[in-house]
Chain A
Amino acid sequence: MIEIEHLTKRYGALAAVDDVSLTVERGQIAALVGTSGSGKTTLLRMINRLVEPTSGRVRIDGTDTAALPPHLLRRRIGYAIQGHGLFPHRTVAQNIATVPRLLGWDRARIAARVDELLELFQLPPAEFRDRMPHQLSGGQQQRVGVARALAARPDLLLMDEPFGALDPVIRAQAQTDLRRIQRELGTTLVIVTHDMAEAITLGDRIAVMEQGRLLQYAPPREILTAPATPFVARLIGRDERPFHLLSLTCVADLIQPGEAEGPPLAPGASLRDALSLCLWTGRAALPVEGGGVVTLEALRRAAEGRSP
């Protein structure tokens, strides 16, 4: 659990982060969104003290982060950044082993952990262990970057626009994988993004920031249906609201008894996918795998922002 209390960072007269307080529960994902210059990255970097706060404090599982030397604090916190920042002169395995080596793990334990992580990120160890970063594709580099951040089993992972450099197809896959791995490991995750769709897909809670201040910190549904300020509403995008809302729920939650024509939909698909398929095929109901249907009428109601 991370508790951020009245955290402020001033550069001269300018407050990059202005009295921000928020709490992220263990195992949850908090997405920090805002325009560039909103202070979201500075807030993130104050958690592992890459930026020293002017005032306020951060506690991780009850421990004040100011009580530890910064480099020891950082070894306990995973950190992944845009463009991965892999060490170009080190192999994939050596990159992933960075923090375990700093922590003085023995050789066999490090090797086992590296292989375990490569498996987890679907990079066959025998093939990828000894490659250099420049021999990987963008998506693979990004996965190695996240694997490196997770190497020493941190309870907390910080990510700064980790998918910013990826193309849309790989990006969607990377988000799905991250979500899966985060759930599997139970890691608490704070992720900075300027992409509202990414924040909604990943975040258990979304923190919207503008000019250093925290405007709203709430679950995605609440951000969408009850934006605290006009700026939050603008950031979501008026046109996108119903689709964002539909993407939060999966088909399984909206099944009705009945029969319908056509190939069945997976229960894990989002309502947004279902709507898209209804519109594309011109049907009013779609069958769902394992029985039941999801109707266009139900989708329409779900998109209004009431509970499904």
Chain B
Amino acid sequence: MTGRLALGLAAILLLAFLLSPESFAPLLRPLTRNGAPPVYTQTSLLSLTFSHLGMVAGAVLAASVLAVGFGVLVTRPFGRDFLPLARTVASVGQTFPPVAVLALAVPVMGFGTGPTLLALFLYGLLPIFENTLAGLTNLPPQVIEAARGMGMTPAQRLWRVELPLALPVILSGVRLSAVIALSTATIGSTVAARTLGEVIIAGLLSSNTAFVVQGGIVVGILALLIHAGFRWIEGRAAGWTRARS
């Protein structure tokens, strides 16, 4: 209950700050020196936030489709041979530092949104893929046996039994990816993607702590809200596991 209240407050605070950043100026002024501006005004914070969230959503959505798709393929009888290979590829994607992805992608894709989306997408694959595998391979064997015995085709088993039962686990992978992508996206500003990282980097370049703090706090609160939102959806998807009578 207290947690929900705190989240609600944080959400209201965030909304207030994004809609009217100037009214928070007195709070942030003590963090500035030599009369530097306390609030970032180069670009509207609201539009930066939307652009940031849009990139995260796009990258995570694409990563989910691909990772869940592959997770399903390599757990089918005909795809099992590719399971180790798929695992390796996804792990390598995760080991590669996002900055390196950006650096390598810029010469090919140019500055802007492209390289950042690519980095977020690659980074989002592994958690979703791993969780899809975990969800689809740890199903209660009796339930699967029953589904076969009832006369469901493999596709019917997948859609009606396996995916619904694995959904909570898959969603927690998506949540992990989304939260990681949210923080990783800030780095995208180094290659001129329009994200909240712009505010932080501007602060670092001009030694303006107020900029760094406001950028950081906005990203932080967004991460908390996304995390909570996903937890709520996971709870709904897993409603059948808990006694709620």
Contacts and interface: CB of A to CB of B under 8 A. Distances in A.
Among the interface residues B151, B156, B164, B245, which one has the most CB atoms of the partner chain A within 10 A? B151
Given A85-B142, A85-B145, A89-B165, A102 B245 contact: no
A89 B148 contact: no
Given A82-B142, A132-B240, A87 B147 contact: yes
Interface in B116-171: 140, 142-143, 145-153, 156, 161, 164-165
Interface in B191-245: 240-243, 245
Interface in A52-93: 71-76, 79, 81-90
Among the interface residues B164, B240, B241, which one has the most CB atoms of the partner chain A within 10 A? B240
Nearest to B147: A87
Interface of A: 48, 50, 71-76, 79, 81-90, 98-99, 102, 131-135, 145, 148, 158
A89 B240 contact: yes
B146 A87 contact: yes
A84 B149 contact: no
Contacts of A158: 149
- Give the interface residue-count category, chain B: 20 to 34
Given A88-B165, A132-B240, A135-B243, A75 B150 contact: yes
9 nearest A-B pairs in the assembled complex, by CB-CB distance:
A85-B146, A75-B151, A74-B151, A79-B149, A85-B142, A89-B240, A71-B151, A83-B142, A89-B164
Given A89-B164, A89-B240, A135-B243, A74 B146 contact: no
A48 B147 CA distance: 13
Given A50-B149, A74-B150, A88-B143, 12 more contacts: A71-B152, A83-B142, A84-B142, A85-B145, A88-B241, A89-B164, A99-B151, A132-B240, A133-B240, A134-B241, A135-B245, A145-B146
Interface of B: 140, 142-143, 145-153, 156, 161, 164-165, 240-243, 245
A98 B150 CA distance: 7
A72 B145 contact: no
A134 B238 CA distance: 12
A5 B160 CA distance: 36
B14 to A, nearest CB: 35
B153 to A, nearest CB: 5
B147 A72 contact: no
28 contacts: A50-B145, A50-B148, A50-B149, A71-B152, A74-B151, A76-B151, A79-B146, A81-B145, A81-B149, A85-B149, A86-B146, A87-B143, A87-B147, A87-B161, A88-B143, A88-B165, A88-B241, A89-B164, A98-B150, A98-B152, A99-B150, A99-B151, A102-B151, A102-B156, A133-B240, A134-B243, A135-B245, A145-B146
Contacts of B165: 88-89
A89 to B, nearest CB: 4
Nearest to A73: B151
Contacts of A135: 243, 245
Q: Is the interface of B mostly helix, strand, loop or mixed?
A: helix
Contacts of A85: 140, 142-143, 145-146, 149
Contacts of B147: 87
Contacts of A71: 151-153
Contacts of A133: 240
B68 to A, nearest CB: 18
Nearest to A145: B146
Given A89-B164, A134-B243, A135-B245, A48 B152 contact: no
B170 to A, nearest CB: 14
A71 B149 CA distance: 8
A284 to B, nearest CB: 50
A76 B148 CA distance: 13
A81 B164 contact: no
B143 to A, nearest CB: 5
Contact of B152 (A73, A88, A102, A131): A102
A72 B156 CA distance: 13
A75 B152 CA distance: 8
A102 B150 contact: yes
A152 B240 CA distance: 26
Contact of B151 (A72, A84, A88, A89): A72
Among the interface residues A88, A99, A133, A148, which one has the most CB atoms of the partner chain B within 10 A? A88
A145 B143 CA distance: 11
A250 to B, nearest CB: 35
A48 B150 CA distance: 10
Nearest to B142: A85
